[in-house]
Amino acid sequence: MAKQIFINLAVKDLQKSMDFYTAMGFTNNPQFSDDTGKCMVWSENIFVMIMTHEKFASFATKPIADTKSKLAGLYSLSVDSIDEMNSIVTKGLKAGGIEPSAMRDYGFMQQRTIEDFDGHTWEVFFMDVTKFPTNG
């Protein structure tokens, strides 16, 4: 079996969150979804499990963080172009997301940040490694 990444997030409004992630380009896998959690697919090997607080708490060993006021992690999504990056963030904003900072341009990489309804922070970026500075 291929190695896969499952990011698990606690959300307050499951349907609203599912709509947000769908707008950003994720698809739902109904096989691993129910009324307490939705499996949102980014790629063949990357999945975001959005779960009600009750469901998430059943797996957690610590209290659920208030991600609206504190940062619990940064989740990054690479894309194939600046246009794709802008499209994803624009769709996420139209679905109710928040862009807490301006686009960052590092020369070899452009990055935009978007937060979902619960404050989970996503960095959507395009990187052109041919523009990466060399030490030579």
Q: What is the pLDDT of residues 10-33, one digit of tens each?
A: 999 999 999 999 999 999 999 999
Find how far residue 54's CA is from the centre of its chain. Answer: 21
**pTM for this model (two decimals):** 0.90
Residue scoring higher pLDDT (64 or 136): 64
Residue ranges of domains in the chain: 5-61+72-131
- Under a CB-based contact definition with an 8 Å cutoff, are residues 117 and 71 in contact? no
User: Looking at the domain covering 5-61+72-131, what would its CATH class be?
Assistant: alpha beta
Say what the pLDDT of residue 136 is: 58
Q: What is the pLDDT of residues 40-94, one digit of tens each?
A: 999 999 999 999 999 999 999 999 999 999 998 999 999 999 999 999 999 999 9
Q: What is the pLDDT of residues 87-135, one digit of tens each?
A: 999 999 999 999 999 999 999 999 999 999 999 999 999 999 889 888 7
Q: CB within 8 A of 15, min separation 6: which ones?
A: none
Measure the CA–CA gap between 32 and 40, rounded to whole angstroms.
Answer: 9
